[in-house]
Amino acid sequence: MSDRSRTWPAEMDAADRVRHVALTRTTPRNAGWIAEEADVSRDTAVKYLERMTDQGELELVETADGTCYKPDDVTQFLREVRTLAEEQSVGKLTDELRAIGDEIDSWKATYDIESLEELRRSIGREDLSPADRRDRLETIEEWEYNAQMREAIQLAISLQSSLTRLDGNPCLGERGSETLPQEG
């Protein structure tokens, strides 16, 4: 196994380790790499990776390393929405929306622009130093993240509202670690 392999908690079985490694990667990885990191055989990793792919948790991607696995973007996004809806109150979510809006407004003022696209186009300006370009590229990355989080937060607020109407519980955001009501 890998020199990088960690000591896994005793309660994590092979499936849990493969799941953890596969779902916490931002770069697509092949089954051999995931197996090594999860401290399992390649065959064991493939079995669980195929199951996760069938369940929509992972996507297959062809790379120079062959067939690789990466977390499914839609599934990850929906999990984030659910986590926000379960763990945050509407007030906290609203505060976060306000903070995101304030940060975007500050970037608009700093760069004298009106949109993310305008900031992207400004990277090509000849009067920018390399440091200014790097700064703008970092801001673009943060802006894109904020835009994705804003969408997730807005959906989490809508989810809380919908579930409150369904089950009559107005305290969804304050239930702590309980899960959302489920059918069946």
Condensed to tens digits (0 to 9), the pLDDT of residues 4-17 reads 446 899 999 999 99
What pLDDT score does 161 carry?
86
For residues 56 and 111, state if they share a domain: no
pTM exceeds 0.85: no
**Does residue 32 contact residue 42 with C-beta atoms inside 8 Å?**
yes
Q: Are residues 85 and 138 in the same domain?
A: yes
What is the number of domains present in the chain? 2
Query: Strands 29-30 and 58-63: what pairing?
Result: unpaired
- The two tokens of residue 37 are 């990191």
pLDDT tier at 145 (50, 70, 90 boundaries)?
very high
Same domain, 136 and 94: yes
Please identify, among 71, 92, 110, the residue that sits at the C-terminal boundary of a domain: 71
Using DSSP's 3-state secondary structure scheme, residue 6 falls into coil
Dihedrals phi, psi of 3, to nearest 5 degrees: -65, -25
Q: In the predicted model, is pLDDT for residue 65 greater than 80?
A: yes
- Could you give the CA distance from residue 44 to residue 34 in angstroms, rounded to a whole number? 10
What does the pLDDT read at residue 166?
64
Buried b (16+ CB within 10 A) or exposed e, 141-177: eebeebeebeebbebbbebbeebeeeeeeeebbeeee
Whether residue 182 is predicted with pLDDT greater than 50 in this model: the reply is no
Query: Within a 13 Å sphere around the CA of 91, how many CA atoms are in the beta-carbon half?
Result: 3
130 pLDDT more than 70: yes
Which pLDDT belongs to residue 25?
85
Residue 59: inside a domain? yes
Q: What is the pLDDT of residue 20?
A: 93
pLDDT higher at 96 or 184: 96
Domain housing 91: 75-174
